[in-house]
Amino acid sequence: MLLKLIPRSVCLKLLAAGLCFSSLSVQASAERVISLSPHLTELAYAAGMGDKLIAASDYSDYPQQAKKLERVASWQGLNLERILALKPDLVLSWRGGNPQKSLDQMTHLGLNIFYSDPNSIQSIADNLIKLAEYSPHPEQAHAAAADILAKRQALKDQYARPGKPPVNVFLQFSTQPLFSTSGTTIQSEVVSLCGGHNIFADSPVPWPQVSREQVLTRKPQAIIISGDEAQVKIVKTFWHGQLDVPVITVPENWFNRSGPRIMLAAEVICQKLSQISSTS
C-alpha cells in the first residue's frame, strides 16, 4: 500500500536505485508512438520504447530496426492524415524541424505531443528522464541518461583541465556558403568539453554565416567537420593556400543529431584535439 502513496515524480527518482517498481508498473506506458525526427527515434530506442514505435520520420536509420518503420514526416512536412489514421497515443516532435502549425493542429485534435529540442548534453539526459514516464522499460531510460552524464564527466576530467591552453577550433558545417556555430549549441559544448575553444562561440546567432577573412583572423588550430574523408578533400581544397591545419572528421549522424551518439562524437573529438594540443 505504501508504494501506491509515493508521488510518481519521486518514484522515478528512486528507479535508478532499484526501488518503486510496483508503483511504476501501475502507470500505463505509451503503446503507439510516432517519432517526427531522427534524433527522437534514437532517444525513443534508448529509452526502451523501440517496440512501441509505429512510424517515424525520414532518415530515422538508427538503430537498424528503425529503418523498417513507416515514414510519416520529411523535410517537406508531416503527413498529418496518415499520422491521425495511425491513432498514436504519443507523438515525439521537434520544434526546430517540424512545422508548428501541424503540431498545433495535432494538439487541437487531442494528440499527446512530446517536445524535444535538446541543445546540450544535459538536456539529452533530461529528455530521456522525461521519456521514462512513457516507456514500458523506464529503467533503460534512466540508465541511458546516467551513462551519458557519466561519459561527459569522464571526458571533462580527462581533457578539460584548468590551466591547459585550449585549442582554437573552427566548426565548419558547409563551404558555399560558409557556416559555423555559436557557443549555445551542443556541438560547441562538445568542443569545450574536449579542451577546445570554438572561435565563433561569441556569435549572437546560433548558426552564423561567416567569411574566410573572419575565420583567418581568429587563427584556428583545427577544423572540425561532420562527414568522412571525401569531405576532408573538399575542405582542404577550399582553404588551399590560406589555412593549413588538421581537419577532424566525425560521422555526421553522431555529431549533428542531439541523441546519445553525441558522446561517441565527443570521444573522437577529444582524442584528436588532445593529439593536436600535445604537438603544438
Q: Residues within the annotated binding site for cyanocob(III)alamin?
A: 59
Own/partner long-range contacts of 54-58 (Cβ < 8 Å, ≥24 apart)? 54/86, 54/88, 55/82, 55/83, 55/86, 55/88
Nearest-CA neighbor of 98 among 82, 79, 125? Answer: 79
DSSP state of 29: P
* Cα separation, 137 vs 130, whole angstroms: 13
Residue stretches of the annotated binding site: 59
Sign of the CA dihedral running 259, 261, 266, 272: negative
CA 56 to chain centre: 17
Rounded Cα distance between 24 and 8, Å, is 7
Query: Cβ atoms within 10 A of the Cβ of 256, count?
Result: 18
